[in-house]
Structure 1
Amino acid sequence: MQTHVKTLGILHIVFGVLGLLIGISVFLLLGGIAGLVAITGSGSDAVVASPILGFLALVVLGFTLVLSLPGIIAGFGLLNMSPWARTVMLVLSALHLFNFPLGTALGAYGLWILISPEVTAAFESRARFA
């Protein structure tokens, strides 16, 4: 089961980093489009569209940070077998169930691993010694 816990941690780190990369890419794309609209636009539509696109880029970046960073942090916590990481990962795994199809698979795998008696006992024994 120790291998499954490490695998779950690595999967969450990978998915979190991919989410961050996608979020940063969309941020740069929307920010670039907003800049192009501001530079090339001459009408009143450009004045309105540019700040909206810039704000949308910030919202996308913030959204991906909020969704990706906890998975990355908890993934590293699972690799270190930190007791707090199990609690965080249980919550994240439950939330991932709504993200069909890959998130559902990752969430179900996470819940299956983290709820098993063997893993629960391992994390509880680590918590006693911490």
Structure 2
Amino acid sequence: MDMTTHIEVLGWLHIALHSFSLLVGGAILLLVLFLGHTISEWAHLTPLLVYIPGLLIGLFLCTIAVPGMILGYGLLQKTCWSRKLGLILSPMLLAYFPLGTLLGVYTFAILTTEKAKIILCH
């Protein structure tokens, strides 16, 4: 594959992974908001022990997903700022084991090459 194809694949992979993250984060938020009290009664927990972690996890996943989707769009449009954003976000993706780890390593490996710099910052 040539470098242009790698960059396009990378853009679509970022959009796919972060769309899934946004979907899961939204589902967690909805689940906690609508069923949090029922879950806390069923598990014999204080409602705050269900609401606070659920809301934090859901909001975290949703807020992390947005820059990743912007990165995917920027890579597809071949903008210069997408290379910089990708190099900033790729170490953060390592925490999303196993798919995020693979994507983070692939992102870093592709965006650090000289060909990618020429293609994205022409």
Q: Which TM-score band applies after superposition, normalised by the shorter structure?
A: 0.7 to 0.9
| Max Rg structure | 1
TM-score, scaled to structure 2: 0.84
Aligned residues: 118
Residues 11-57 of structure 1: CA deviation (Å, up to 9, x unaligned): 0000001001111111122222224368xx6xxx77xx234433333
Q: CA deviation at 1:99?
A: 2.8
Residue identity in the other structure for 2:6: H
CA distance in 1 between counterparts of 2:39 and 2:28 reads 16
1:72 lines up with 2:74 in the alignment? no
Partner of 1:82: 79
Q: What 5-or-longer segments of structure 1 have no aligned partner?
A: 126-130
Partner of 1:91: 88
CA distance in 2 between counterparts of 1:52 and 1:97 reads 28
Alpha carbons 2:74, 2:82 under 8 Å: kept: yes
Alpha carbons 2:18, 2:68 under 8 Å: kept: yes
Residue identity in the other structure for 2:15: I
Instruction: Choose 55-64 or 116-125, whichever is displaced more.
Output: 55-64
Residues 71-118 of structure 1: CA deviation (Å, up to 9, x unaligned): 001110111011111100111112212332211111111111111111
Which among 90, 108, 119 is matched to residue 111 of structure 1?
108
Q: For 1:1-130, what aligned pairs fall within 5 Å after superposition?
A: 1-36=3-38, 49-125=46-122
Partner of 1:128: none
Alpha carbons 1:33, 1:53 under 8 Å: kept: no
TM-score, scaled to structure 1: 0.79
